[in-house]
Structure 1
Amino acid sequence: MIDAMAHRGPDGQGVVDLTPAGGALALGHRRLALLDLSNAGLQPMLCPDEARNAAPPRGWLVFNGEIYNHLQLRRQLHGEGVRFVSGSDTETLMWALARWGEAALSRLQGMFAFAWCDLRAQTLLLARDPLGIKPLYTAQQAGRMGFASEARALRAAGLGGGGIDPRALASLLAYGAVAEPLCAVPGVDELEAGHALRLDLTKIPAEALALARRWRYAASPKAQAWRDREQGVAAAAQALEASVAGHLLADAPVGLFLSSGLDSAALATLCARAAPNTHAFTISIASAGERDEAPIARACAEELGLPFEAITLTDAFVEQRALGFFTALDQPGWDGLNTYLISEAVRERGMKAALSGVGGDELFGGYSGFRTLPKLRWLSGLLRNLPAAVRNAIAKRLYPHPEQAARREKLSELLAAGLDVQALTLRSRRLFSDAQLRAFGLGEALSTLDAQALPAERWADAPLEEVCAEISRVESRYYMGNTLLRDADVMSMAHSLEIRTPFVHQPLVDVIASMPGRWRRPEKGRNKPLLIDAVGADLPRRLLGLPKSGFTLNQDAWMRGPLRAPFEQWIDALKHSGALNPTLVEHEWRAFLDSSPQSGQWSRAWMLGVLGAWLATA
């Protein structure tokens, strides 16, 4: 299993075989060293008896991620008498679990997935961070249970089946990503974000004792908790600075992904204050012309005094390097190529971690939906009771051309959503409609999902009263969680690079989520006004009036050019896989080839090609 994840940790490995009462347990780990680069940070890590005598040890820990407040926790533990022998956050986490048990989870600030084997209680605790930055998969089969950071490791151990789970396939085609707790690999589940699973090791196989949700988004913004917006801006500024400072903590080089977008520019501004030698990197696409983000990113870095490098992607580079993206896929997904390409280049330049602006749009209201969905909600409320034919006619009037069929179908579905903000937000993210999923042959799979083509067993929350706050929560949980964070982890770790996401940080999220949603709404031509005001006057002003962007690639042209041959093979493989209606698969591919580059048709053809590539190795 650990060999299947060698790319995640080239700096060390370890395996320990344990024999709890009634069964056997093995823990393995691959290390990417970022804090305390010595062997003192190797895992699995044994927690000795506190007296460090001949008494039995407390337990073993395997841990993936970073605990950004580990120095504060370490001081608390030291005050309780714990003596540390390393500077690693792994040892801090280990002693926190040994001393405080599951209550330690509420004290952790960071990204994590870990397994804590309590030798005295004969239990195994599996846990993920509140926002789901680090993944954790589980599988149980024929009296065996396994867990890992990637599903491929479970498959390497003979756990999980072949092909693709039909419910996961429906979710994938609906949204371009498999929604947790589903996994594309049959028989494998993903532990949901913010959850902890405790297992009884005295049973064969290990028996679940408790599955608990340890954190949830604020129930509703607390306008009364804030004196005025100025106070909110000051609190946001303090939380942002603290988050960036924590995410820069490392004993190895940490870089910055810098696009021409506002989120990464805000991080660059905060990095320039906290660590002015932080190297910034961007992607430059040779054929992008005026759409190339490198000139703006370079100007931003120069204004802030940060070292900077633009990594140029030519068609030859894409043809040579992009195929590795399809091999790196742990689960099929629509996104992630940009992360794969820049992560490879940044790792080659000596970085072991990089800050990313992922999460800024969800938290600070950057997506166009924060402007359009409230209007669509009003319109949908008026039109939802009209016959479907009338709604379809309205959509066709707005999008009359054949190339606009996907937009027409999406608008028709949005007009039927009514006042449900979650439904509106999710439908705005749809790739294929329910009607298309049934045409692909997925009617039975859809019957096991809820009305939004999501797992029916997901942990539902009551909707928030404020529309912007609810959009933020839904985007964070579903799009950010299932697409952006998963792809950031898999595609960066494919190159042994750790992506750190300062905007996806529980203390920061808690502060912003408690504020009135209207503070995040675009105002007077300014997008993300709360973020702009919180970062302050040294944020490069040239970015404020620019349209949203962020490492945008040219997949349409590449699918017609350097990647056409492999895509033809993957589409053919998908047609012969039996997973989908081959006639409709061929229709989507031909519709893309016949479309104009401006139509946006490439995204659905891309998803089908990715699926075909993944199934070819499943």
Structure 2
Amino acid sequence: MCGICGTYSMARPPSPERVETMMVALRHRGPDGSGYFVDDRVALGHTRLAIVDTAHGVQPMCNEDSQVWVTFNGEIFNHVELRAQLTDRGHSFRTRCDTEVIVHAWEEWGPLAFDRFNGQWALAIWDRRTDELILSRDRYGVRPLYYTWHDGELRFASEMKALFAVAEAGPDLDPVGLDQILTFWAPVAPVTTFKGVSQVPPGSWMCVSGKHSSTSSYWTPDFTEPATGRGGSEQQNAQELRERLIAAVRLRFERSDVPVGAYLSGGIDSSVTASLIASFTDVEVGTFSLRFDSAEHDEGHFQHLLTRRLGTRHHEVEVGERDIAEIFPEVVWHAEHPLLRTAPAPMFLLSRLVHQSGYKVVVTGEGADEVLAGYDIFLEAKVRQMWAADPDPDARQRAVMQLYPWMERSPGRAPAFAAQFFGQNLDPHDPAMSHRPRWETASTMKSMLTPELRVDSTAAHDLVAAMPADSSGWEMLGRAQWLEMRTLLPGYILASQGDRMLMANSVEGRFPFLDVEVSRLAATLPAEQKIKGLDEKHLLKLAFRDLLPKEILSRPKQPYRAPDAASFFAGGTPDWVGDVTSSEALSRSGVFRPAMVSALMSKARRRLGRGMSNTDNMRLVAVLSTQLLLDQARRARRSAQSPVDPAVFDYRSRSTS
């Protein structure tokens, strides 16, 4: 895994110094080396985390006559098979790395190559034959790719901080991006948090020629087949899912020249991946787990149950509320957009443990909930669907009681709340019936914004309008999965909790459940095989019931969560919390209404952050993360440098009771 950056202009020669400055801002993504290429049109930069062909995979890389160049962040897992096809077509190779396969694949197939790749990538191809710069991103948006225009020059990078390092002004919050964050939890590509900065959408490629650019999609989630009736019994589909997941795990674990570890949460997804590595490879498995000092969040019992069974070399880090508060400024700096939860912070600490243990790569279970329908939002939508079809109050209550048996404040124990929550948005013809409650809950935070930052929000309308024309014929679950894959998955799960926290510590994450063959199969499965009754990921459990302990197979799903408001108040409040929420800081940023922030902070202090509502928790984290982000940007501009390590901001100051 690596960092990429570069510039393109037809009007003037590129600046080597500019691309070098951008590379410095990305050095955490590639500490093993760096390189750049410059000609009269383009400058390409690369910081390398060496994983495949560590001796020869230096980038930027070109073809034999130096007419096609690439700088690449990611992995093409089927590069061995593609290399064989390209060799048969007359291409010759100097290295074993997947980067060189990209160069020749572009020569041979052009943009059709992207659909042949099974991997995760953000890349830039400079085709000197046509004077075109090509930017491309993988199907689900595992790897980030941002760009901006300045005075006719395109600048691109893996992270926005590299663009800001060479910016003439800004960055300034984009009210539309902020509105999307306070609706969907993350901006939806091509929108970002900041004005003038865009991102290449997942599943797309962008062609830049002169001062013009065009973006085309080569892939989008498609859930047509379940609605038309895919063949195959539960047993047959479970067996096919098993075979494809085994192949996907082996592809990600065995095609590396450095050790590969595995995240283990104690849930079914990571338990499946860890068990497959232990069962179908010949290497000792290193597993990594998060522990929490609060019983409400800790899953240590299930983690240890599996590590004893598999005999892994296990590593774990225990996280407390104080740890989250201390590391949060650094987490925000790497996330690069406001957060509504503290959950990325423990993931940062986990990836740091991986790095300190000598690993560069981990396999994780991310993506399983999206492709196989494991999230609460899908179960809640099914309950609403049942409520819409059956007005009987007893039947409705029985359905709710089956949800969240692990949750202390379960809706099943609060009938009035359940009636209010599940009784809304019951229009089965609404394409976004599944997501309206989440969006509306998040949107209540917008009341805290100043008038200057409020916009007439069309976020939900625009997203629904962008759904495929034939999606009206999909099952409700397919529409819900499409929405999740366009919003939370790329913008939050794979970004804030994934790539950014991993690469902050120079660790690459690999996601077998997002393998192209696994996800293709999953998209064709009927809804009743993904969620049987209210048994989420039913087919996955059926496929691997012989590998997993019954305790893990039968445990209710417990979403990954971390302490939110309590992290900043229960164990003493760091000085930076008061600094970024002071009247002066709020006035300087101009984002939040000071009176509302003051009332929220007083409430959190009074309660030590405990027992606060879900909405108040999100409000507090949103305020702190937004204020931190803007303060960091202000300090970076004032110091006229790109501060890779936010410790220079002196946020890790003493705590006060």
Query: Same-fold call, TM > 0.5?
Result: yes
In the alignment, which residue of structure 2 is the partner of 1:213? 217
Structure 1 Cα separation of the partners of residues 115 and 364 of structure 2: 25
The Cα shift of 1:615 comes to 1.1
Structure 2 Cα separation of the partners of residues 563 and 220 of structure 1: 53
One-letter amino acid of the counterpart of residue 347, structure 2 = T
Structure 2 Cα separation of the partners of residues 428 and 582 of structure 1: 27
In the alignment, which residue of structure 2 is the partner of 1:355? 363
The Cα shift of 1:117 comes to 0.7
* Cα distance, 1:224–1:409 mapped onto 2, change above 3 Å: closer
CA offset digits 1:59-91 (Å, max 9, x no partner): 110011100111110111111222211111111
The Cα shift of 1:264 comes to 0.8
Structure 2 Cα separation of the partners of residues 351 and 579 of structure 1: 40
Equivalent position SS for 1:282: strand
Structure 1 Cα separation of the partners of residues 471 and 174 of structure 2: 29
In structure 2, list runs of 5 or more residues that go unmatched. Answer: 1-21, 392-408, 634-657
The Cα shift of 1:312 comes to 2.1
1:41–1:90 CA contact under 8 A, matched in 2: yes
* Cα distance, 1:145–1:290 mapped onto 2, change above 3 Å: closer
Moved more, 229-238 or 562-571: 562-571
Alignment equivalent of 1:139, drawn from 112, 124, 148: 148
Alignment equivalent of 2:54, drawn from 31, 37, 42: 37
The Cα shift of 1:411 comes to 5.2
* Cα distance, 1:467–1:129 mapped onto 2, change above 3 Å: same
CA offset digits 1:20-72 (Å, max 9, x no partner): xxxx211101111110111x2111112123xxxxxxx2211001110011111
Structure 2 Cα separation of the partners of residues 141 and 539 of structure 1: 54
Structure 2 Cα separation of the partners of residues 421 and 537 of structure 1: 40
Structure 2 Cα separation of the partners of residues 438 and 554 of structure 1: 24
Equivalent position SS for 1:548: coil
Structure 2 Cα separation of the partners of residues 410 and 158 of structure 1: 51
The Cα shift of 1:464 comes to 4.9
Structure 1 Cα separation of the partners of residues 219 and 169 of structure 2: 29
In the alignment, which residue of structure 2 is the partner of 1:235? 240
In structure 1, list runs of 5 or more residues that go unmatched. Answer: 50-56, 384-399
* Cα distance, 1:461–1:336 mapped onto 2, change above 3 Å: farther
Structure 2 Cα separation of the partners of residues 102 and 556 of structure 1: 47
Moved more, 597-606 or 70-79: 597-606
Structure 1 Cα separation of the partners of residues 345 and 470 of structure 2: 32
* Cα distance, 1:443–1:570 mapped onto 2, change above 3 Å: closer
Alignment equivalent of 1:148, drawn from 136, 141, 157: 157
1:363–1:472 CA contact under 8 A, matched in 2: yes
One-letter amino acid of the counterpart of residue 14, structure 1 = G
In the alignment, which residue of structure 2 is the partner of 1:284? 291
One-letter amino acid of the counterpart of residue 476, structure 2 = V
* 1:608 partnered with 2:614: no
The Cα shift of 1:160 comes to 6.8
Structure 1 Cα separation of the partners of residues 596 and 532 of structure 2: 40
In the alignment, which residue of structure 1 is the partner of 2:26? 5
Equivalent position SS for 2:248: helix
The Cα shift of 1:591 comes to 3.8
Equivalent position SS for 1:617: helix
In the alignment, which residue of structure 2 is the partner of 1:374? 382
CA offset digits 1:548-583 (Å, max 9, x no partner): 235532334322135733323233334541112222
One-letter amino acid of the counterpart of residue 368, structure 2 = G
Structure 1 Cα separation of the partners of residues 524 and 466 of structure 2: 27
One-letter amino acid of the counterpart of residue 623, structure 2 = L
Q: Percent identity among equivalent residues?
A: 27
In the alignment, which residue of structure 2 is the partner of 1:521? 531
In the alignment, which residue of structure 2 is the partner of 1:346? 354
Equivalent position SS for 1:616: helix
* 1:305 partnered with 2:305: no
In the alignment, which residue of structure 1 is the partner of 2:249? 244
Moved more, 364-373 or 148-157: 364-373
* Cα distance, 1:356–1:563 mapped onto 2, change above 3 Å: farther
Equivalent position SS for 1:48: coil
Matched ranges for 1:89-488 at <5 A:
89-158=98-167, 161-200=170-209, 203=210, 205=211, 207-208=212-213, 210-222=214-226, 224-248=229-253, 249-275=255-281, 276-285=283-292, 287-289=293-295, 291-314=297-320, 317-318=323-324, 320-334=326-340, 335-377=343-385, 379=387, 415-416=424-425, 418-420=427-429, 422-430=431-439, 432=441, 434=443, 436-438=445-447, 440-441=449-450, 445-447=454-456, 449-452=458-461, 462-487=471-496, 488=498
Structure 1 Cα separation of the partners of residues 79 and 420 of structure 2: 47
2:146–2:160 CA contact under 8 A, matched in 1: yes
* Cα distance, 1:357–1:302 mapped onto 2, change above 3 Å: same
One-letter amino acid of the counterpart of residue 309, structure 2 = E
Alignment equivalent of 1:80, drawn from 89, 97, 103: 89
In the alignment, which residue of structure 1 is the partner of 2:15? none
The Cα shift of 1:98 comes to 1.7
Structure 1 Cα separation of the partners of residues 244 and 251 of structure 2: 11
2:147–2:155 CA contact under 8 A, matched in 1: yes
In the alignment, which residue of structure 2 is the partner of 1:597? 611
1:279–1:306 CA contact under 8 A, matched in 2: yes
CA offset digits 1:470-529 (Å, max 9, x no partner): 222222221112110112111110111111111122221111111111110144x74321
User: When the two structures are aligned, how many residues end up with a matched partner?
Assistant: 579
The Cα shift of 1:133 comes to 0.8
The Cα shift of 1:442 comes to 5.5
One-letter amino acid of the counterpart of residue 117, structure 2 = L
Structure 1 Cα separation of the partners of residues 130 and 508 of structure 2: 33
The Cα shift of 1:443 comes to 8.4
* Cα distance, 1:463–1:254 mapped onto 2, change above 3 Å: farther
The Cα shift of 1:316 comes to 5.9
Moved more, 139-148 or 155-164: 155-164
The Cα shift of 1:380 comes to 6.2
One-letter amino acid of the counterpart of residue 141, structure 1 = H
* 1:48 partnered with 2:64: yes
Moved more, 108-117 or 374-383: 374-383
Equivalent position SS for 1:235: helix
Moved more, 573-582 or 484-493: 573-582
Structure 2 Cα separation of the partners of residues 268 and 415 of structure 1: 40
2:432–2:480 CA contact under 8 A, matched in 1: no
Structure 2 Cα separation of the partners of residues 612 and 461 of structure 1: 42
Question: TM-score when scaled to structure 1?
Answer: 0.87
* Cα distance, 1:303–1:181 mapped onto 2, change above 3 Å: same
The Cα shift of 1:290 comes to 6.4
In the alignment, which residue of structure 2 is the partner of 1:67? 76
In the alignment, which residue of structure 2 is the partner of 1:588? 600
CA offset digits 1:110-142 (Å, max 9, x no partner): 001111111111111111111111111110122
Alignment equivalent of 2:578, drawn from 564, 568, 571: 568
Structure 1 Cα separation of the partners of residues 300 and 278 of structure 2: 19
Question: TM-score when scaled to structure 2?
Answer: 0.82
CA offset digits 1:2-24 (Å, max 9, x no partner): 111110000111111111xxxx2
